Amino acid sequence: MRPWYVIENIDDIPSPAILVYPERIEANLRQMILDCGDVKKLRPHVKTHKLPQVIRMKLALGITKFKTSTIAEAEMAASEGAPDVLLAYQPVGPNIARLIRLIQTFPSTRFSCLLDCKSIVEKLSAAASVANVDVSVLVDLKVGMDRTGIEAGPAALELYRSISNSSHLVADGLHAYDGHLHDSDAGVLAAKVRDTFAPAWQLKHDIEASGLPSPRMVVSGTPTSAMMATDFDVEVGAGTTVLWDAGQPQACPEMKYVNAAVLISRVISHPTLNRICTDLGHKAVASEFEPPRVDFFGLESAVAITHSEEHLTLQVEHPEHYPVGTVLYGLPHHICPTMALHQAVWCVRDGQAVEAWPVTARVRCLTI
C-alpha cells in the first residue's frame, strides 16, 4: 500500500515544494473544535498556513474568529468573509494608516489590534478620529516571553483605562501569548499555566471592579490551547494545529493531530561515498533552529552535515539506495515559517497533486 504522503504524479512536481492534504487539514480543524469544546472559543492563527482555501474551510466549520500577524494576513481573511479578525501585533508607523484603511475597506469584518504603550494609543486614536472609524483594541500582556506586551498590573490597568477614554478606540480585551509554556507532563504544564496567568486573571478582575468594560481574553499558543479553552473563559489562538509538523509532538505529545503538510526534495548529487545532497536549502525550509530541520520518511538515521541556501547534505547509511533524482518526502520541524518560504503549495487529493495554491499572505502587502 502506498504511504499516505506519496503522490502518483510526483514526476510532474518540481522540488523543493510543499504538498498539502485538505482531508487532513479538515480533520485537524475538527479536532481543534473538539479540543476547545466550543467553536466560539477558537481563534486559530492564520500565520501558519496563509491560505484563503483554509480560511474557507474554517468558515465552513463554523469558525468565525481569526488571529493574524500582518495586515496582509488580515486582509486575506477579510477578503474571504471572516467576520472577526484580530491583528495580533501593535501597529506602528504606516501600519496605523493601513489598519484604518483595512477597517474602511471591509466594513462587514470586525477588526481589532494589540497595544502595549500610551504613545500608540494616542497615535491610533488620532488617526481613527480623523477617519471617523472605531478601532477595537486589546492590551497586550507580557507573561514570560519578554518579547512584547506590558506587565499585568497597575500600569496595564491604566493603559486599558486610557484606551477606554480615547476617542474612537474601544477597550475590547486582553491578549497574552504563552509560547514559552510547554511540557510533556500535563500536570506540570497546568501548574505553569496557573502561575503564569494568575496576574492576568487578577488584572481582568481589577478592570471589572473599576467599572471599565469587561475584557475578553485572547490567550495561548498551541501547547496550552486545549487546556486553556477547557478550564477558562477565553479564546485560544493555536495555529500550528492546522498543518502540524515534526516539532510540535515533542512539546505536546498528547495532542491528536495529523501531519497535513509535507516537503518534497530530490537528491541532486553524491558528493562523497556516504553522503547525498538534496535541493532543500534554507530557502525552502525554516532554518531558525539547529538541525535536523526536516525529518525525511525512511531516513530517520540520516545526519545533516551542511545546510546552505540551496543545498542540504545528509550522511546516510546506504547512499546507493538514493540515486540522483530520488524523491524524498519529509516533515519540517517548524511549518509556519516554512510555508512563508514557498510561493505556492500543491493540493493533494486522492493521491494526486491536483492544483497549486498560491500562499497568498506570505507577502507583506496585498492591496492595502
The rounded distance, in Å, linking the Cα atoms of 127 and 145 is 30
Same domain, 80 and 148: yes
Angle (deg, nearest 10), helices 186-209 and 222-231 = 60
Q: Coil, helix or strand for 243?
A: coil
Q: How many helices (H) and strands (E) does the chain have?
A: 10, 17
Give the number of residues written for the chain: 368
Query: Domains in the chain: how many in total?
Result: 2
Residue type (1 letter), 328 = L
Domain end position, chosen among 242, 270, 287: 242
DSSP string, 169-223: EEEEEEEE--TT---SSHHHHHHHHHHHHHHHHHHHHHHHHTTSPPPEEEE--HH
Per the domain annotation, does 283 fall within a domain? Answer: yes
Cβ-based neighbours of 247, under 8 Å, separated by 6 or more: 289, 332, 333, 334
Cβ-based neighbours of 272, under 8 Å, separated by 6 or more: none
The rounded distance, in Å, linking the Cα atoms of 131 and 287 is 42
CATH number where 340 lies: 2.40.37.20
Same domain, 115 and 190: yes
**Phi, psi (deg, nearest 5) at residue 356:** -90, 130
Per the domain annotation, does 249 fall within a domain? Answer: no
CATH number where 182 lies: 3.20.20.10
The rounded distance, in Å, linking the Cα atoms of 41 and 43 is 7
Per the domain annotation, does 1 fall within a domain? Answer: no
Same domain, 59 and 203: yes
Same domain, 41 and 80: yes
Same domain, 52 and 163: yes
Question: pLDDT tens digits for 282-338?
Answer: 999 999 999 999 999 999 999 999 999 999 999 999 999 999 999 999 999 999 999
pLDDT, position 127: 98
DSSP element (H, E) containing 95: helix 94-105
Per the domain annotation, does 254 fall within a domain? Answer: no
Q: What does DSSP say about strands 327-332 and 261-272: parallel, antiparallel, or unpaired?
A: antiparallel
Same domain, 194 and 330: no
C-alpha grid cell for residue 284? 525552502
**Phi, psi (deg, nearest 5) at residue 313:** -100, 130
Domain end position, chosen among 213, 242, 271: 242
Per the domain annotation, does 82 fall within a domain? Answer: yes
The rounded distance, in Å, linking the Cα atoms of 85 and 74 is 6
* 8 secondary structure, DSSP code: T
Same domain, 169 and 226: yes
The pTM of the full predicted model, rounded to 2 decimals, is 0.96
pLDDT, position 253: 85
Per the domain annotation, does 253 fall within a domain? Answer: no
Per the domain annotation, does 248 fall within a domain? Answer: no
Same domain, 233 and 168: yes
Per the domain annotation, does 4 fall within a domain? Answer: no
| Contact in structure between 57 and 30 (CB atoms under 8 Å) | no
Centre a 10 Å sphere on the Cβ of residue 364 and count the other Cβ atoms it contains.
9
In order of 17, 35, 218, 257, the CA distances from 31 in angstroms are 26, 6, 20, 7
Same domain, 351 and 207: no
pLDDT, position 251: 81
Q: What is the mean pLDDT of each run of 10 residues along the chain (368 residues)?
A: 96 98 98 96 97 98 98 98 98 98 98 98 98 98 95 98 98 95 87 94 97 95 92 93 94 91 98 96 95 96 96 96 98 98 98 98 98
Same domain, 299 and 194: no
Same domain, 158 and 115: yes
The rounded distance, in Å, linking the Cα atoms of 205 and 131 is 33
Same domain, 309 and 231: no
Domain end position, chosen among 242, 275, 303: 242
Structural domain of 230: 22-242
Q: Which residue has the cell 481574553?
A: 217
